[in-house]
Structure 1
Amino acid sequence: MLAGAPSSHMSSSVSTSQGIFPTSRIGSGESPNSGASSFTQPIADMNENDETDLLSISWNQDYGCFAAGTSHGFRIYNCEPCKETFRRDLKSGGFKIVEMLFRCNILALVGAVANSHYPPNKVLIWDDHQSRCIGEFTFRSDVRGVKLRRDRIVVVLEHKIYVYNFTDLKLLHQIETLANPRGLCCLSHHSNTFVLACPGLHKGHVRVEHFGLNVTKLINAHDSQIACFTLTLDGLLLATASVKGTLIRIFNTMDGSRLQEVRRGVDRAEINSIALSPNVQWLAASSDRGTVHVFSLRVRVSGEDSLTQPNAFQGPALFHQNSSSSLDPLISPNTGANPNSSLSFMRGVLPKYFSSEWSFAQFHLPEYTHFIVAFGSQNSVIIVGMDGSFYRCSFDQVHGGEVVQQEYVRFLKFENRPK
């Protein structure tokens, strides 16, 4: 049955089996119905010697779990403590994209090139409670990214982004972008604000869609191409980095103004991940230089009227003001300050990096490994690497300095191979 049949100019087709979606928590350990699909669920210890390639890693929406796409399927891990909670293995190949929907039974899956049944130009909406695929999107080109909200499915191609309604898979929006091979896109996750950020049509620009307000904001974030960005969970703040990887900038998504700029370093680096803490006091960034940097944020924002009340999983504390669009940056008295150069008093005379805000705390990792970073409970920093490593760390919120490792787990081992 076809849901939302595409018009002739569209490069996608959509199919669905029946009603969407009963929800249950993933990783409950329930066995799938016999013969329901080609997936199997072997019982395995997370510290076994795996003959598996790691293809991707990604957080769920509240950063309490992460998904690993492997050459044989996918696995789901809890973060605190780090523990494999669920896996599915395939005979036909693996998945290069595994997108969770919080901790429920619904996942979006995109096959790897070697996956004979699920090619990389197809998105599967998989319901693990029913142990079957309940929807498919097929495109003429490879899928670069998928993002989920409880009410929307967003599919990222190299030059286009499609936004679908979750309940009936109907196409709602199409957005043209600059070449986007990284599949850059992020969403807000408050129930009553829907904000989407993606590359614009010009180098260094980020397009921000406030769908609930029917407002589009184009932010000229960097002179170079965008490499990485993230939104706060309410979508009111945007943090960006370019392919140079030296500066990270924080913007107000309502009016596009720059609120703060921090410096990762002077040498070029590939920034792989940016994270904002739930209380918006801290920003963390990981790069191929082997250091995770933590920065103190000076911005506080006032959100739209009638925003949902925040909690630990929904986003920052919002300081409501009379204006529904006021997002004035305020000085926060509760965080340490990022260090500046001792020559910062000569601002405007010496090169710009002498007056930059440098990182407040740092954690050192192997170089040239792709790591993603997030904030856990009590401002802990969680780091997951494509080398199969997991770190949970803490930092001194007053004095900063070196981040202290609290937990290390090898969640996926690569025996008899170069590390």
Structure 2
Amino acid sequence: MKALRFNQDATCCVVNPEPHLVSIYNCDPFGKCFELDGRGKNQSIDNLAQYPVGISSSSFDGENEYVIEMLFSTSLVAIADRSQGTSNSKKLKIINTKRKCTICEVSFPHGIVDVVMNRKRMCILLESDQIFVYDISCMKPLETIDLWEDHFKKTSSDSNEPKKAKSQVTDSRSRTNSVGSSTRPRMALSSDDRSILCFTSYSSSKNNSSSYLLNDIVIYDTLNVAPINYMNTAHKGNIACMAISNDGKTIATASDKGTIVRVFNTGVDTEYDSRKPLLYEFRRGTRPCNLYYLCFNRKASLLGCVGNTDTIHIFSLKEDIGNYDAINSEFYDEEEDLSQSNNGNGLRDRKSPTDTSNHFTKFISRGIKATIPKQNLRRDYAHIPVLLGTTYCLGFPDEFVNQVYLAGDDGKFLVYSLPSTPGECVLTKSNTFI
């Protein structure tokens, strides 16, 4: 069995219990509410489930046959079939599960990698590094975002902030982003009607101008079809997974190394300082791993982190964030020191031997500090021990704020209670997908 994903409010879960079969389950009360069967049943749905279904690309990385996205607990489901060659991988079908019919079908120039949607917008990521933005009420195309183009103009209130340099490889898309690729663009859409989209963008490597990393983030307003902010170098390596809060005000990211999880301010409805976007920084562990899923609860007070380890981590975002000014300013201390050490004519001030010694000591200590891993990073508030080798998807139910849902490839649907103090979550319910 393969657990595909929870919907936006964790009221339903999509699973693939066996080949040719896709099932949708209610989480509470637990039970099957719909089934797509390609072996003779539900033929009015164009046999959408007639082949083995893989994991939703927006949740996990693997050899996926389908990309599936639900719209809350409604009957609307978007499905892209990647199992039947190139032509079918370019088609997105919008299904009404109650009427058991296809509402519409949209074809794209390249294969579909990911689909995200809310009640206002639908965004489709293609293998060609393009994002198509649609008005979901009428499926009208609104915008096509090319991740290689410099169409993000300066939006920050800081007039001294430099513009993003135009990529020199706009017309040379040599890489193809498959669903199973670990180094492909990521995107996430807020579930409220503000419809804030965040996605990774290419940046040139400092050591090699011809090499590109996916560690920049663009914050985009899909209602007004305009960028809001641009965030440079969220991680040193490629961003492996990403999540956005319900209101679109915060985003969480993890790199391909998988040891650090960061939470940033998007600048939505707040004064945005591009030099201090970091709100929280958490240490998942010291050993690298593949983090494939991040998830906020509705109030963005908790952040779930799932990877290919034997522990699922839940971080708390309730504590004071004042100490993170030091983390944000750490990368700019040297620049500030240089500006303070020059007089109004641009000449370096004359210093006494003691001042010079202090400056040298500070410079050396900063260099040593940069090579030592931060030991004061926050650890998880709660954790869940799981089976190593089993892939899980996680959901925070809006209706039960102190619970966490887990669906695993071992066929189990588990309900955990969050602890009142930091520690291990308590298993309260266990069900099996039929």
Say yes or no: TM over 0.5.
yes
Counterpart selection for 1:75 from 23, 39, 46 = 23
Matched, 1:388 2:411: yes
Matched, 1:370 2:376: no
Q: Secondary structure at the match of 1:222?
A: coil
* Contact residue 118 and residue 192 of structure 2 kept, 8 A: no
Matched, 1:248 2:261: yes
Counterpart selection for 2:92 from 106, 123, 141 = 123
* Contact residue 252 and residue 294 of structure 2 kept, 8 A: yes
Aligned equivalent of 2:125: 156
Q: Distance in 2 between matches of 1:168 and 1:278?
A: 27
**Residue 89 (structure 1) shift:** 0.5
Counterpart selection for 1:238 from 219, 228, 251 = 251
Q: Secondary structure at the match of 1:224?
A: coil
Q: TM-score under structure 2 normalisation?
A: 0.66
| Divergent runs of 4+, >6 A | none
Q: Distance in 2 between matches of 1:393 and 1:134?
A: 37
1:300-331 Cα deviation digits (max 9, x unpaired): 8xxxxxxxxxxxxxxxxxxxxxxxxxxxx579
Q: Distance in 1 between matches of 2:21 and 2:385?
A: 31
Please give the residue correspondences for 1:166-205 in structure 2 after superposition, counting only pairs within 5 Å. 166-177=136-147, 180-182=177-179, 184-191=186-193, 193-202=194-203, 203=213, 204-205=215-216
Q: Distance in 2 between matches of 1:103 and 1:364?
A: 29
Matched, 1:57 2:78: no
More helix as a share of residues: 2
- Identical positions, percent: 26
Of the two, which has the highest radius of gyration? 2
Aligned equivalent of 2:240: 227
Q: Distance in 2 between matches of 1:231 and 1:184?
A: 11
What letter matches 2:431 in structure 1?
V
**Residue 281 (structure 1) shift:** 2.0
RMSD of aligned residue pairs (Cα, Å): 2.6
Aligned equivalent of 2:103: 134
Aligned equivalent of 1:325: none
What letter matches 1:411 in structure 2?
F
Task: Call closer, same or farther: CA 1:363–1:129 in 2, change over 3 Å.
Answer: closer
**Residue 104 (structure 1) shift:** 1.4
Matched, 1:211 2:241: no
**Residue 121 (structure 1) shift:** 2.3
What letter matches 1:176 in structure 2?
D
Q: Distance in 1 between matches of 2:135 and 2:417?
A: 39
What letter matches 1:154 in structure 2?
C
* Contact residue 133 and residue 222 of structure 2 kept, 8 A: no
Matched, 1:408 2:430: yes
1:96-154 Cα deviation digits (max 9, x unpaired): 122111111211111241599x9322110112343321211223432111112222221
Task: Call closer, same or farther: CA 1:139–1:402 in 2, change over 3 Å.
Answer: same
**Residue 232 (structure 1) shift:** 0.7
Q: Secondary structure at the match of 1:119?
A: helix
Unaligned runs of 5+ in 1: 1-52, 301-328, 332-346, 413-419
* Contact residue 100 and residue 108 of structure 1 kept, 8 A: yes
Q: Secondary structure at the match of 1:144?
A: strand
Aligned equivalent of 2:315: 295
* Contact residue 302 and residue 316 of structure 2 kept, 8 A: yes
Aligned equivalent of 2:353: none
What letter matches 2:228 in structure 1?
T
* Contact residue 260 and residue 299 of structure 1 kept, 8 A: no
Unaligned runs of 5+ in 2: 40-46, 54-65, 149-175, 180-184, 204-212, 324-367
Aligned length: 313
Q: Distance in 1 between matches of 2:79 and 2:375?
A: 45
